[in-house]
A and B are shown apart, each in its own frame.
Chain A
Amino acid sequence: DMKVTQMPRYLIKRMGENVLLECGQDMSHETMYWYRQDPGLGLQLIYISYDVDSNSEGDIPKGYRVSRKKREHFSLILDSAKTNQTSVYFCASSLSLTGNTEVFFGKGTRLTVV
């Protein structure tokens, strides 16, 4: 079963706390992504990972970092969360970074920073 799994699905954190969002995929995909979506905006790319320990900033990386130590697992870390990081975060994966490859998405994590 091809799946991208995100944990947790819902999270409430206080401003200044550290946040860890976890993502796993069971398809042995090389490429993984983290996006966020805010009301009225499309999904915005935070980070992209081409493989283990091979990560690259996306369009909005400020305030985030990532870790990929295993091909099937990709974490998003917020050091000292801010209220403007309240959003829905989507993890995704694809077989490779080619332009017409299907991207598979997780169900999202709704993060609220208070």
Chain B
Amino acid sequence: GDSVTQTEGQVTVSESKSLIINCTYSATSIGYPNLFWYVRYPGEGLQLLLKVITAGQKGSSRGFEATYNKEATSFHLQKASVQESDSAVYYCALTGGNNKLTFGQGTVLSVIP
């Protein structure tokens, strides 16, 4: 079946520094997957941060970017300069041929002021 791997359970970064959260995936359906980053701020539900449905394309939102790399089966999340308000849990996810979301385990980002 489909799977998503986020290797870091927790990441701590100082404010204004750069960030990368790693995500790799495995998808079994031809022509897929669609790739997503969701974010959960403290006390809130998950919300869509960005999505990319075409290999080779980049998605961006709120200063975050992620590129759909089909060759490396990766969809890493990057930001050039993080802020304390970016502290949250970030989830990489995909939908494959069954149209159901498969999530990674999440990465807790703590930004130190």
Number of A-B contacts (CB under 8 A): 56
Q: Tell me the A residues contacting B by CB distance below 8 Å.
A: 4, 37, 40-43, 45, 48, 58, 90, 92, 97-100, 102-108
Q: Tell me the B residues contacting A by CB distance below 8 Å.
A: 4, 9, 32-34, 38, 40, 43-48, 51, 53, 91, 93, 95-96, 99-106
Q: B48 contacts A103, CB within 8 Å?
A: yes
From known contacts A40-B9, A100-B95, infer whether A90 and B46 are also in contact, taking CB-CB under 8 Å.
yes
Task: Please name the residue on chain B nearest to A94 by beta carbon.
Answer: B101
Q: How far is the CB of A106 from chain B (nearest CB, A)?
A: 5
Q: A107 contacts B103, CB within 8 Å?
A: no
Please measure, in the bound complex, the distance between the C-alpha atom of A10 and the C-alpha atom of B103, giving whole angstroms. Answer: 23
Q: B106 contacts A99, CB within 8 Å?
A: no
